[in-house]
Amino acid sequence: MIALTPGEPAGIGPDLAVQVAQQQQDYPLVAIADSKLLQDRAQLLNLPLQLINISTLAEEHNQPITTPAQTLYISPIEMPVPCVPGQLDPRNSQYVLNTLTLACRGCQSGQYKAMVTGPVNKSAINDAGIEFTGHTEFLQHITETEQVVMMLACEGLRVALVTTHLPLSEVAKSITTKTLSQIIRITNQALQVDFGIEHPQLTVCGLNPHAGESGYLGREEIDIIEPCLAQLREQGYSLNGPLPADTLFTPPILEKTDAVIAMYHDQGLPVLKYKGFGNATNITLGLPIIRTSVDHGTALDLAGTGRANYGSLIAALDQAVTMATASNTTD
């Protein structure tokens, strides 16, 4: 079973779940969501949808092998207040986090092989008085994982981040030898275990323009990044860099790279989204579970219109199944 959390109810997440449900899936796909939300959105989109409560299957000892077209299995959880597409309501924020928690706990118990998440709205959750910086950090906290890695992937490019949702003013001080080493180790191991790459080749960005220009534009490369990479190379890691980001993202270098290590969010992700937007996947590495996600936001203006593109959700589901299969093979 794969768990699907549609995310912010006022956004396009429920639309995407209904759209994906129109196709048969070769595995049991379980939405952890409000049943009425999905039925209402299906009606608004004029799409058929049958919801089958997963608990009834468990009671009958009849576990599904596939998910039929126009169907979703569902583990229902109620929203506190009704949802209007396109209109955020902070009162539903705890519901969003509850869906994530249930999916995560289900993965930890072995009920689900992976969880796939739709987009959430950070501001709505914070407006509810709940501290929240993103899926990655939330799942890290509830699984009590010391270090996780946010990686986005599309055809021909993977980008892992050393820092994620931080103000730019806090990035430099957050890049330490320990953190960088952990990020590289986790990424390298994930490429081996979850992607079947026996000897991963990683290319590392510098932090500063021109990778510091020999210290004239910053010393982070000299004091932190280069010594860390040298130490890891001695341990057998295949690492290229640190390289300036404006020359790293070019075909001659990327052709020899299994993943790029970017120092901050907007250093690596604009390139990836330009290359693969709509078909890219957000993957959290280092967790004790498999989690993938769409590469876009809630798109409130598209909610309920039928104009949302579900390509990224298909990519995230396919990636989750591939990783779960590779992980089982490795085990």
Which residues in the chain are classed under CATH 3.40.718.10?
1-145+290-325, 146-286
CATH superfamily of the domain spanning 146-286: Isopropylmalate Dehydrogenase (3.40.718.10)
Cβ partners under 8 Å of residue 113, min gap 6: 1, 2, 107, 290, 320, 324, 328
Lowest mean pLDDT segment, chosen from 127-136, 206-215, 217-226, 286-295? 127-136
**pLDDT for the residue 162:** 97
**pLDDT for the residue 58:** 67
The whole-angstrom separation of Cα 21 and Cα 81 is 24
The whole-angstrom separation of Cα 111 and Cα 105 is 9
**pLDDT for the residue 64:** 76
> Side-chain half-sphere of 58: how many Cα atoms within 13 Å?
9
The whole-angstrom separation of Cα 274 and Cα 328 is 33
285-300: average pLDDT: 94
pLDDT band at 133 (very low <50, low <70, confident <90, very high): confident
154-168: average pLDDT: 93
**pLDDT for the residue 219:** 95
**pLDDT for the residue 136:** 85
Residue 35, burial from CB neighbour count under 10 angstroms (0-12, 13-18, 19+): middle
Q: At 273, list the tokens.
A: 């989204």
The 10s digit of each residue's pLDDT in 25-66 is 999 999 999 999 999 999 999 999 999 999 887 666 677 789
171-196: average pLDDT: 95
**pLDDT for the residue 329:** 54
pLDDT band at 330 (very low <50, low <70, confident <90, very high): low
The 10s digit of each residue's pLDDT in 229-238 is 999 999 999 9
**pLDDT for the residue 75:** 97
CA distances from 226 to 188, 198, 219, 281 (A): 18, 24, 10, 29
Q: At 309, list the tokens.
A: 């593109």
**pLDDT for the residue 326:** 81
pLDDT top residue among 101 and 62: 101
Q: What pTM value is reported for the model?
A: 0.89
**pLDDT for the residue 79:** 97
Given a contact cutoff of 8 angstroms between Cβ atoms, the answer to whether 151 and 292 are in contact is no
Q: Kindly state the percentage of the chain with pLDDT values over 70.
A: 97
The mean of the pLDDT values for the chain is: 94
Lowest mean pLDDT segment, chosen from 30-44, 149-163, 267-281? 267-281
CATH superfamily of the domain spanning 1-145+290-325: Isopropylmalate Dehydrogenase (3.40.718.10)
The whole-angstrom separation of Cα 45 and Cα 144 is 39
Question: Looking at the predicted structure, is the pLDDT value of residue 222 above 70?
Answer: yes
